[in-house]
Structure 1
Amino acid sequence: MYRQCLVHEEQRDLQLILWRDDPTQPLSIYRLNTVTYGTASAPCLSVRCLKQLANDSTNADVRRIINEDFYVDDMITGSDNKYNLMKLCEETSTTLRSGCFPLRKWIFNFTCNEFEPLIKIPTSTSPRACKKLTLNENSSHKTLGIGWLNDSDEFYFNTEFESDCNQTITKRKILSYASQIFDPIGILSPFILTAKMLLQQLWLLKLEWDDTVPNDIARQWNRFLASLPTLKTIRVPRYVKDMYAMYTEMHIFTDASQLAYGACIYIRSINTNNQTATVRLLCSKGKVAPLKTTSIPRLELLGALVGARLYDKMSSDPNDLLPLSPAHFLVGRPLTAPACDNLVDTPTHKLDRYQRVEQIRQHFWTRWAKEYLSELQTRTKCRENTQDLKPNTLVIIKEDNFPPLRWHLGRVVRNIPGKDGVARVAELQTTSGLIRRAYTKLCPLVDPDEHQTQTTSEAVGSQGFQGRGHV
């Protein structure tokens, strides 16, 4: 594709190559007249040429295909009508051929010979070049790095590793093998996360790239390699909707654990004829949990954020100005939505249909936030004797309803032990009298023993200074 784009004559001197086959020969200067693969500007220049051909086209469908259905030099497009699709292919091919971009290696998911008498595509790019693909063949067709069975219109994965059982397993080899699994739409996210979590464990062990991994990680990696052949059996329908869909829904699920979090999108369509539902996976995204210990609620929020970003990529409507945010997963609507009256305690017979639906929504999200989220956070209780606050210790008393500058001071009078003998509450003397507060609400300022020692040292230091002054 790059070699089909000529560089302006004034810019060709920027692509000079000095070369000679033998050191005894004089240097030869070669000038590259076309866009060169490997330069930073090559992708931009070649894609810009495609965009210009789209702008010059008078066919709106051809403009759409060139602008939206190309990934560098790969075109992936479709239509609900076979004849219209073949016609679009012919017109798109003619438009691109006018700019010296001939399309070839056509692959269809149907038999296209019947359309050849009606639609003329150059022989070098004939649709008959499409072949029946099976896993038994040595060669296979890939669409943006993913295997495509054009007869059944399904995606498949055929990742193979040449591994030796006696070969030393290192962090470098694990990363190299894991990177070979190309999964841009996240179909294999649960599978790939296994390798990512192993790499995370290796980073925690601070191993060098070529150090032998521990035996437990080696066993997990060998199990991972042994499961690779199952990838060949996975078939994912390319077209996720029902052919005769009456309406279509998009469902986003998010989840998290201490090890990983992620989200996935399913498309649910209802058939017009028999009212049956078809549910298929569209895409997913998974990530390994941070190394720093993070609570489950926070990881759930990270999973919701992943789901929001997946949804944002799904929408190409310029009029869709409202992105899906984590608030949709937490309260069922964006935080900027107009506030509704609290209808949780309102009797049902006093509500109309809209208010009843709003009441159900409020009731659900209230229970979800208070009952479900609180269970995700493991609360550890102090069960051992720690260092109690010493009497006369000066503390700051944290008040939730006041800013820090208005927090009061107090002195510890005594510690109050619980039934298990562990003190978690202290009695304090303040300007307003005696109060009791939990240790979590107290911030010690000065230890009375340290304060007494410091006072004594200051007194001694002051006497010494006076003595030296008399000398």
Structure 2
Amino acid sequence: MSRASPELSGYCKYFLPHHCVLKEDSTTTKLRVVFDDSPTPDSGHSLNDVLMAGPIIQPKLFHILIRFRTYPVALTADICKMYRCVRVTSADSYFQCILWRDSPQKDIEIFNLDTVTYKTKSASFQSVRAMHQLAFDERDAFPIVSDAIKQDSYVDDLISGANSIAEARKFARRLGYCLVKTSSFESGVPVTKKVVLFKGADVEIHGHCDASVEAYGACIYVVARSPLATSRILCSKSRVAPLKTLTVPKLELCGAKLLASLMHEVKRTDIFVRQFYCWCDSSVVLDKR
């Protein structure tokens, strides 16, 4: 945030209402300033009305979580004040002006917000895009960290892992000082829903679907054939039957479609490159006519 000089105050295009939110039990940020970009001025358009949201450029959360479960050591982190780490151009800062004075006895001053502001429509895209650009620019120096930022980050949360505690600690140090709430877990500690025990085994992916008059669903298992046959559930999805009454064969077809979509998303992660099998006990679904 920078003070706008009196001779440049005429360049201010939009003023943001703001107020504080105090959270005394917070361990990181006890006082937060909230800006509102939606109020409509006399022009008839708010700042968010004229901003574009930008495309979604980060991986699906489903893909991130599936990849996260394959690491022997899990590592999570949070980027500290992510939006405040991304600077906007000087010209754009005049669309993010605020009025402020330290006390009622002082004159009102104008300040420009020089970084991305939370709750603006484009804030999420701008921050993620800047993070991806940083990962691209520094890939030669930090290849592992660069890949993790692009593949294992969801907005300001990093959900990644490593093959050992030592590697996880090295990884965490290279992520930089701007990360908070960093933690890691070794697979020997009771962390639930891990599928990493199949490392080095002959792995197959098996999906099952079923339906009843009340609901239909699908689940996918990771099966290791060596040295001993072992299976773990990877993911599942279910749907309540529509209010409009459908026959069980039609619901079985809905379950099969749900399984096909779920299996497609698992294949898109490019984690499992072995055989994929889909199973169903409905003769209607299996009928090739």
Code of the residue aligned with 1:72 in structure 2: it is V
- Structure 1 ranges of 4+ moved more than 6 A: 20-26
Equivalent residue number for residue 13 of structure 1: 94
Equivalent residue number for residue 283 of structure 2: 368
Q: In the alignment, is the contact (CA less than 8 A) between 1:268 and 1:280 conserved in 2? A: yes
Quote the Cα distance in structure 1 between the aligned partners of 2:117 and 2:188.
33
User: CA-to-partner distance for each residue in 1:285-312, whole Å, 9 max, x for gaps?
Assistant: 1111111111111111111111112112
Equivalent residue number for residue 298 of structure 1: 250
**1:248 equivalenced with 2:203 (yes/no):** yes
Higher share of residues assigned strand: 2
Quote the Cα distance in structure 2 between the aligned partners of 1:288 and 1:15.
46
Shift of 1:14: 0.9
**1:314 equivalenced with 2:266 (yes/no):** yes
Code of the residue aligned with 1:9 in structure 2: it is S
Do the aligned partners of residues 264 and 29 (structure 1) sit closer, same or farther apart at CA in structure 2, a change above 3 Å counting? same
Higher share of residues assigned helix: 1
Equivalent residue number for residue 180 of structure 2: 104
**1:4 equivalenced with 2:80 (yes/no):** no
Shift of 1:254: 0.9
Quote the Cα distance in structure 2 between the aligned partners of 1:73 and 1:32.
20
Code of the residue aligned with 2:222 in structure 1: it is I
Shift of 1:245: 4.2
Q: In the alignment, is the contact (CA less than 8 A) between 1:254 and 1:263 conserved in 2? A: yes
Quote the Cα distance in structure 1 between the aligned partners of 2:238 and 2:206.
17
Q: In the alignment, is the contact (CA less than 8 A) between 1:47 and 1:72 conserved in 2? A: yes
Quote the Cα distance in structure 1 between the aligned partners of 2:104 and 2:257.
60
Quote the Cα distance in structure 2 between the aligned partners of 1:270 and 1:241.
14
Quote the Cα distance in structure 2 between the aligned partners of 1:4 and 1:252.
43
Quote the Cα distance in structure 2 between the aligned partners of 1:106 and 1:150.
19
Q: In the alignment, is the contact (CA less than 8 A) between 2:219 and 2:259 conserved in 1? A: yes
Equivalent residue number for residue 276 of structure 1: 228
Do the aligned partners of residues 292 and 24 (structure 1) sit closer, same or farther apart at CA in structure 2, a change above 3 Å counting? farther
Alignment size in residue pairs: 201
User: CA-to-partner distance for each residue in 1:172-213, whole Å, 9 max, x for gaps?
Assistant: xxxxxxxxxxxxxxxxxxxxxxxxxxxxxxxxxxxxxxxxxx
Q: Percent identity?
A: 37
Quote the Cα distance in structure 2 between the aligned partners of 1:103 and 1:26.
38
Quote the Cα distance in structure 2 between the aligned partners of 1:30 and 1:298.
62
Gaps in structure 2 of 5+ consecutive residues: 1-81
Q: In the alignment, is the contact (CA less than 8 A) between 1:241 and 1:268 conserved in 2? A: no
2:183 is paired with a residue whose SS is coil
Do the aligned partners of residues 329 and 281 (structure 1) sit closer, same or farther apart at CA in structure 2, a change above 3 Å counting? closer
Shift of 1:151: 3.3
User: CA-to-partner distance for each residue in 1:389-423, whole Å, 9 max, x for gaps?
Assistant: xxxxxxxxxxxxxxxxxxxxxxxxxxxxxxxxxxx
Aligned counterpart in structure 1 of residue 143 of structure 2, from 60, 65, 69:
60
Do the aligned partners of residues 369 and 287 (structure 1) sit closer, same or farther apart at CA in structure 2, a change above 3 Å counting? closer
Aligned counterpart in structure 2 of residue 264 of structure 1, from 199, 219, 239:
219
Q: In the alignment, is the contact (CA less than 8 A) between 1:269 and 1:278 conserved in 2? A: yes
Q: In the alignment, is the contact (CA less than 8 A) between 2:145 and 2:171 conserved in 1? A: yes
Higher Rg of the two aligned structures? 1
Gaps in structure 1 of 5+ consecutive residues: 111-148, 155-236, 331-364, 374-471
Quote the Cα distance in structure 1 between the aligned partners of 2:84 and 2:183.
24
Do the aligned partners of residues 21 and 256 (structure 1) sit closer, same or farther apart at CA in structure 2, a change above 3 Å counting? farther
CA RMSD of aligned residues (A): 3.5
TM-score, L = length of structure 2: 0.59
Code of the residue aligned with 1:103 in structure 2: it is L
Do the aligned partners of residues 60 and 279 (structure 1) sit closer, same or farther apart at CA in structure 2, a change above 3 Å counting? same
Do the aligned partners of residues 150 and 81 (structure 1) sit closer, same or farther apart at CA in structure 2, a change above 3 Å counting? closer
User: CA-to-partner distance for each residue in 1:52-100, whole Å, 9 max, x for gaps?
Assistant: 1110121332221110011111112222233333333333x14xx5xxx
Shift of 1:25: 8.3
**1:41 equivalenced with 2:122 (yes/no):** yes
Quote the Cα distance in structure 1 between the aligned partners of 2:120 and 2:156.
17
Equivalent residue number for residue 170 of structure 2: 87
2:144 is paired with a residue whose SS is helix
1:107 is paired with a residue whose SS is strand
Q: In the alignment, is the contact (CA less than 8 A) between 2:172 and 2:182 conserved in 1? A: no
2:120 is paired with a residue whose SS is coil
Do the aligned partners of residues 24 and 291 (structure 1) sit closer, same or farther apart at CA in structure 2, a change above 3 Å counting? farther
Q: In the alignment, is the contact (CA less than 8 A) between 2:135 and 2:149 conserved in 1? A: yes
TM-score, L = length of structure 1: 0.38
Equivalent residue number for residue 189 of structure 2: 151
Shift of 1:317: 5.7
User: CA-to-partner distance for each residue in 1:337-385, whole Å, 9 max, x for gaps?
Assistant: xxxxxxxxxxxxxxxxxxxxxxxxxxxx9x9349x98xxxxxxxxxxxx
